[in-house]
Amino acid sequence: MIRNNCMKKLSIIIVNYNVQFFLEQALLSVRKAGEGIDHEVFVVDNNSVDDSVKMIRDKFPEVKLIVSKENLGFSKANNIAIAQAKGEYILLLNPDTVVREDTFHSTVKQMDEDLQIGALGVKMIDGKGKFLPESKRGFPSPEVAFYKTFGLSKLFPKSKRFNHYHLGYLSSEENHEVEVLSGAFMLLRKEVIDKIGVLDESFFMYGEDIDLSYRVIQAGYKNFYFAATTIIHYKGESTKKGSLNYVKTFYQAMIIFARKHFGGQKAGIFIAMLNGSIYLRALITILSNFIRKAYLPFFDALLIFLGLFLAKDIWSVLRFHDPHYFKASLLYFNFPLYILIWLIVLQLRGAYDRFYRVNQIIGAIFIGSLCISAIYGFLPSHLRASRMLIVFGSFWAILSTLTLRSFIGLVKYGKFSMEAPKKWRTLIIGSWEECKRVQDLIYQAGLEIHIIGFISTDEIGEGSQNFIGVERQLDEIVPIYQINELIFCAQDMSAEKTIYWMNALGEHIQYKIVPKDSISIIGSNSKDSAGDLYTVDINFKLNKLQERRNKRILDLGVSLLFFFLSPFLIWFSIRNTGVFYRNIWRLIIGKNTWVGYHKADDLQKILPKLKPCILNPLDGLKHNITHKDTIHRLNLLYAKDYNTEVDIEIIQKSWRKIFLPIS
């Protein structure tokens, strides 16, 4: 086939934004898949602050790196590389992907054999091996958008009419001509791009792949879903799908598409429907997020109240021989107060995290009961009911909360427990040297993982002390040892075999990959969640939920202390009372935090996110530090080794800064 004066067979373009370790893994897989094919690789970095650029220069000298001083968005960044590309084919590839060793060869071969294919996509799976339906899609017509918005596509996933958006009626295991391909992996002919134009830069994020797919078909070519090869797409690194920002950005992209390609009354109806969908989906998102967070405390409160209500009637008869002994205030004051205190302590103790431990619930109820008993003594006599009801309520609260979680565990997980798993039971698959290296990474990162053993990628003799089995025995070893996590060493395990085992073993296993010579362990738990990333250098204690909860408790406690001491502080120290009370209020409601990062640090984006702060790690130091590298290092150490004692020390030394406006 004539190359139209192109110098390469394939140009691979990756747009990166702050996903250094995912990008490293993607480039390693691209390097392997590109062997034997004349290709070039572009990475356009959209002003990342996570050392992505340095990593590329150090580890991938063959990559043609384009560094932007601003975030240009997906379309504009791709267009810059397309203008320089010399390939007969152009591949748009996401940085959070892993391609199989045969992916480039098989897809290019398919394009060579079928000249009518203008763009080609492949089968994509998430980090748990689950098929991603966006691998093949239909155009978002008003009817299709209506069915998707109102959830009919999920109710009837195989329906040609109701799930045309994801083409659910077409098998994911067979090749198909489709309408829309995903921009995560989109292989295009350069001559088609020259004919239809590059990506529309009106789309900053989302929608550009739909627009490009539409123009490919309008030009007389076909979009082709190629199921013969599979890639991993971790997803979720740029935008959380459960966020309001995702809803707004996605539907606004659809509005741009409708205005561009639909005319007249049809466009008006579609745009009106999409605008309505933004508010509808936003409302659904808000409600679903609220229900997901509030349903467990709600049912805890309901069950505890019912138990206290019955205890009141029983105790009034047994102890006082009068079923109407207790006053009505018990129902509308005492019981709600008791329940509120128990719920607050349960929340602070982590009982409403995704998983919990039994001792967290028992300890929380016990602490809450002590608080209730202390408050009980200060209540006026007409609001004191009976201490025995507090005792009974404590036991009932423990029983009801544990029973409720056992029931939910049975429904959601098929077992009478929502209790946190002990440690992950993990196997590492690779050579002896690489398995040991990964084991050291895990220990250095301080991860709570129980390594059951190593699995060899080569045949080993019986009685070997280094391995408990070989890779081909994984389907037998996993159930025997009750394994719930596999870590693949990419240096020894091909992407093809990794993807094979992800499909074969199913979604109940967690999968991680360790790139060659990397300090990162990468994976993802679902198609809707961001990828998991463990590294030795980036293992911040501030990422731990318990530490963030402790920080919030400290913020609240210190703020209330200053509020109650405000008459004395105003008399002796405070000059600007308005700023003082405004700062205290913002701290109490959680808009700000007492201690955070110094704002002069340009690299704080790579640190765990914190609310705007009054104080920072430099406060209280004797020397005035202005060097940016030192400031970043102090911020980094604060996040990495965080504990509440650090905050207390900084507050003690610099509390007078509470009188300054929060920047």
CATH number for the domain spanning 233: value is 3.90.550.10
Identify the H or E element spanning 87: strand 87-93
CATH number where 524 lies: 3.40.50.720
Task: Name the residue among 406, 392, 399, 413 with its Cα closest to residue 361.
Answer: 399
Considering the domain architecture, whether residues 188 and 205 belong to the same structural domain is answered as yes
Asked if residue 615 and residue 528 are part of one domain, the reply reads no
Residue 127 DSSP SS3? coil
Domain boundary, last residue among 506, 539, 572 = 539
Q: How does residue 458 score in pLDDT terms, banded at 50, 70 and 90?
A: confident
Do 105 and 119 belong together in one domain? Answer: yes
**Which residues on adjacent β-strands are paired with residue 408?**
none
The number of CA neighbours under 13 Å toward the Cβ of 567 is 1
Of 539, 562, 580, at which residue does a domain stop? Answer: 539
Burial of 613 (0-12, 13-18, 19+ CB in 10 A): buried
Give the mean pLDDT of 383-396.
Answer: 88
Strand 593-595, strand 613-615: pairing:
parallel
What's the CA angle centered on 181, arms 178 and 184, to 5 degrees? 160
Percent of the chain with pLDDT over 90: 32
Predicted confidence band of residue 529 (pLDDT cuts 50, 70, 90): very low
Q: Is residue 482 part of a domain?
A: yes
CA distance 468 to 192: 52
Given this model, what pLDDT does residue 464 score?
61
Q: How far apart are CA 178 and CA 96, in angstroms?
A: 24
- Give the per-residue pLDDT at 628: 76
Domain that holds residue 505: 424-539
Q: State residue 196's pLDDT score.
A: 92
Q: Are residues 527 and 553 in the same domain?
A: no
Residue 371 belongs to some domain of the structure: no
Name the nearest CA neighbour of 93 among 21, 20, 172, 23. 23
- Residue 429 pLDDT > 80, yes or no? yes
What's the pTM value of the predicted model, to 2 decimals? Answer: 0.71
Pair (577, 534) in one structural domain? no
Average the pLDDT over 475-491 and give the result.
Answer: 90
Residue 296: pLDDT above 70? yes
Instruction: Please name the residues in contact with 453: beta carbons below 8 A apart, sequence gap of 6 or more.
Output: 427, 428, 467, 468, 469, 481
CB 426 within 8 A of CB 420: no
Tell me how crowded residue 329 is: count the other CB atoms within 10 A of its CB. 12
In a domain, 418, yes or no: no
Tell me, yes or no, whether 12 lies in a domain: yes
Tell me which of 153 and 119 has the higher pLDDT. 119
Bridge partners for 44 per DSSP:
15, 66
Instruction: Determine whether 146 is exposed, middle or buried from the number of CB atoms within 10 Å of its CB (0-12, 13-18, 19+).
Output: middle
Residue 323: the pLDDT is 83
Asked whether 330 and 387 are in contact (CB, 8 A), the reply is no
| Residue 103 shares a structural domain with residue 214 | yes
Q: Is the domain of 606 the same as that of 644?
A: yes
Mean local confidence (pLDDT), 483-495:
91
Q: Look at residue 532 in the predicted model and tell me its pLDDT.
A: 56
pLDDT score of 1: 41
**Interval 362-373 mean pLDDT:** 89
Residue 38 region by backbone torsions, left for phi larger than 0, else alpha for psi between -120 and 50, else beta: beta
Backbone angles phi, psi at 429, to 5 degrees: -110, 120
**201 has a pLDDT exceeding 90:** no
Most confident of 116-125, 270-279, 645-654: 116-125
pLDDT for the residue numbered 87? 94
Mean per-residue pLDDT of the chain:
83
CB 98 within 8 A of CB 495: yes
550 vs 536, more confident: 550
DSSP states along 608-663: PP---EEE-TTTT-SS----HHHHHHHHHHHHHT--HHHHHHHHHHHGGGGGSPP-
- 29 and 112 in a single domain? The answer is yes
pLDDT at 462: 47
Of the given ranges (431-435, 591-595, 645-649), which has the lowest mean pLDDT? 645-649
pLDDT greater at residue 250 or residue 558: 558
* Coil, strand or helix at 234: coil
pLDDT of the residue at 542: 82
In the predicted model, what is the mean pLDDT of residues 459-479? 79
Of 490, 514, 539, the domain-final residue: 539
Report the domain count for the chain: 3
Q: What is the arithmetic mean of pLDDT over 129-150?
A: 80
Residues 605 and 514 occupy one common structural domain: no
- pLDDT at residue number 416: 62
What pLDDT, on the 0 to 100 scale, is given for residue 304? 94
In a domain, 494, yes or no: yes
Q: Virtual CA dihedral for 205, 199, 182, 69, nearest 10 degrees?
A: -50
- Partners of 184 in the beta sheet? none
Query: What is the predicted pLDDT for the residue at 237?
Result: 42
Cα separations in angstroms, 465 against 72, 434, 479: 53, 16, 21
522 compared with 233, residue with greater pLDDT: 233
Q: What is the mean predicted confidence (pLDDT) over 605-630?
A: 80
Would you state the pLDDT for residue 118?
95
The answer to the question of residue 232 being in a domain is yes
Q: What are the pLDDT digits (tens) for 399-414? A: 999 898 888 877 766 6
CA dist., res. 12 & res. 82, Å (int): 9
* Same domain as 612, residue 493: no
In a domain, 3, yes or no: no
552-603 confidence digits (pLDDT tens): 888 888 888 888 887 777 676 656 777 788 888 888 888 889 898 888 877 6
Same domain, 485 and 582: no
Identity at 495, one-letter amino acid code: A
Residue with the bigger pLDDT between 250 and 497: it is: 497
Residue 302 has pLDDT above 90, yes or no: yes
Residue 526 above 60 pLDDT? no
Residue 13 is assigned to a structural domain of this protein:
yes
Whether the predicted pLDDT of 383 surpasses 90: no
Q: What is the mean pLDDT of residues 631-639?
A: 82
pLDDT band at 530 (very low <50, low <70, confident <90, very high): very low
501 and 555 inside one domain: no
Looking at residue 275, its pLDDT comes to 66
* pLDDT, greater one: 357 or 613: 613
Given this model, what pLDDT does residue 528 score? 41
